């Protein structure tokens, strides 16, 4: 991994959380993400989180919709410091109840 970090000038990774009746980022369309939202740990040990220096880009967030259908929240991590990726851990995933579920789709890291 260190070799890839040294040879690259930037890196990108996508993580999609597919969800059914459970929110992972915002609780409504017009609200900001709370501090209790999902957080991610970088390869370097730093945290990607709401309001932090390393907040992920969210290109879609429809998990707040609780209508009995599957939705998704799509995070993009694109940094000029390739040593931040890959994401190595995810925190604050929601507790599920009967009728609510989620699953993760963790994409590969593209070192550029």
pLDDT of amino acid 40: 95
79, exposed or middle or buried, with CB in 10 Å at 0-12, 13-18, 19+? middle
Domain that holds residue 91: 2-111
Contact (Cβ atoms closer than 8 angstroms) between residue 39 and residue 101: no
- For residues 14 and 108, the answer to whether their CB atoms sit within 8 Å is no
What CATH number is attached to the domain comprising 60?
A: 2.60.120.1000
Number of domains present in the structure of the chain: 1
The two structure tokens encoding residue 48: 């990607």
* Tens digit of pLDDT at every position of the chain (112 positions): 888 899 999 999 999 999 999 999 877 776 766 777 899 999 999 999 877 788 899 999 999 999 999 999 999 999 999 999 999 999 999 899 999 999 999 999 999 9
Residue 52 has a pLDDT of 77
* pLDDT attached to residue 26: 79
Yes or no: say if 20 and 100 are a contact pair by the CB < 8 Å rule: yes
* pTM (2 d.p.): 0.91
Cα separation, 53 vs 50, whole angstroms: 9
């Amino acid at each position: 991994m260190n070799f890839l970090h040294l040879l690259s000038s930037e890196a990108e990774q996508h993580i999609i959380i597919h969800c059914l009746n459970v929110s992972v980022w915002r609780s409504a369309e017009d609200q900001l993400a709370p501090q209790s939202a999902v957080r991610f740990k970088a390869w370097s040990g730093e945290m990607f989180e709401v309001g932090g220096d390393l907040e992920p880009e969210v290109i879609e967030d429809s998990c707040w919709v609780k209508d009995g259908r599957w939705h998704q929240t799509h995070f993009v991590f694109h940094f000029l410091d390739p040593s931040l990726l890959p994401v190595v851990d995810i925190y604050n995933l929601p507790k599920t109840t009967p009728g609510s579920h989620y699953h993760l789709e963790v994409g590969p890291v593209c070192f550029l």
